[in-house]
Structure 1
Amino acid sequence: MEFCDECGSMMQTQGDKWVCTKCDFEKLRDSAKEAAMVTTQSQEASEVIESQGGTEGLPTTDANCPNCENDTAYWYMQQIRSADESETRFFVCTECEHKWREDDH
């Protein structure tokens, strides 16, 4: 990946040149420098971490399910807005597996 010297945008290859998609700045490609670049295509998938999903291992709390009135739910926190916003707490009913957010009413 190459970034424009003029505006900082990501550049694309066109033949023997790098061309900025924003300001049209051009510079010649350097094959030695490009050989040292790491791309997602050249990375090996030697370590794959799979999500277990589901509710296994989640903590439980007292919370009334709006779907079935059960009083116990699994809960977890997730960042769904920008980084300067607080996380949102999600609940999953232990009986019917209905999912809701803390701020849902």
Structure 2
Amino acid sequence: MKFCDECGSMMQTEGDKWVCTQCGYETLRDEAAEAEMVTTQAQEESEIIESGGGSSGLPTTSANCPNCDNDEAYWYMQQIRSADESETRFFVCTECEHKWREDDH
């Protein structure tokens, strides 16, 4: 992927040139530089490694499910508010798959 030197937008290939989709800036392609670029095809071919959390692939922890009183849950963290706020921790019960969250205050 190449970005425009003029406006910063993503460029597309057209023959032996890179062309900006926004401002029309053009530059010649460099095969050596393009060989160094990582493509989505290369990412798709990589091996996926599962991290032990059973069939969900999520790690487990001790947590009391408010729905069925099971004492084990999968967990993950997700940014749901603005970037300057802390992440929210989500839990999924390993028995009934009830989902709840825990906010850091």
Q: TM-score, normalised by structure 1?
A: 0.65
Q: Which amino acid aligns with 1:78?
A: M
Q: 1:2 — aligned with what?
A: 2
Cα distance, 1:13 vs structure 2 = 0.5
RMSD (CA atoms): 3.2
Structure 2 distance, partners of 1:48, 1:35, is 24
Moved more, 87-96 or 14-23: 87-96
Larger Rg: 1
Contact 1:4/1:25 (CA < 8 Å) preserved in 2?
yes
Cα distance, 1:54 vs structure 2 = 3.2
Over 3 Å counting, the alpha-carbon distance change for 1:85 and 1:28 in structure 2 is same
Contact 2:58/2:74 (CA < 8 Å) preserved in 1?
no
Structure 1 distance, partners of 2:49, 2:4, is 34
Cα distance, 1:95 vs structure 2 = 4.3
Task: Tell whether 2:92 aligns with 1:87.
Answer: no
Q: Which blocks of at least 5 consecutive residues in structure 2 are unaligned?
A: none
Q: TM-score, normalised by structure 2?
A: 0.65
Q: Which blocks of at least 5 consecutive residues in structure 1 are unaligned?
A: none
> Size of the alignment, in residue pairs?
100
Q: 1:99 — aligned with what?
A: 99
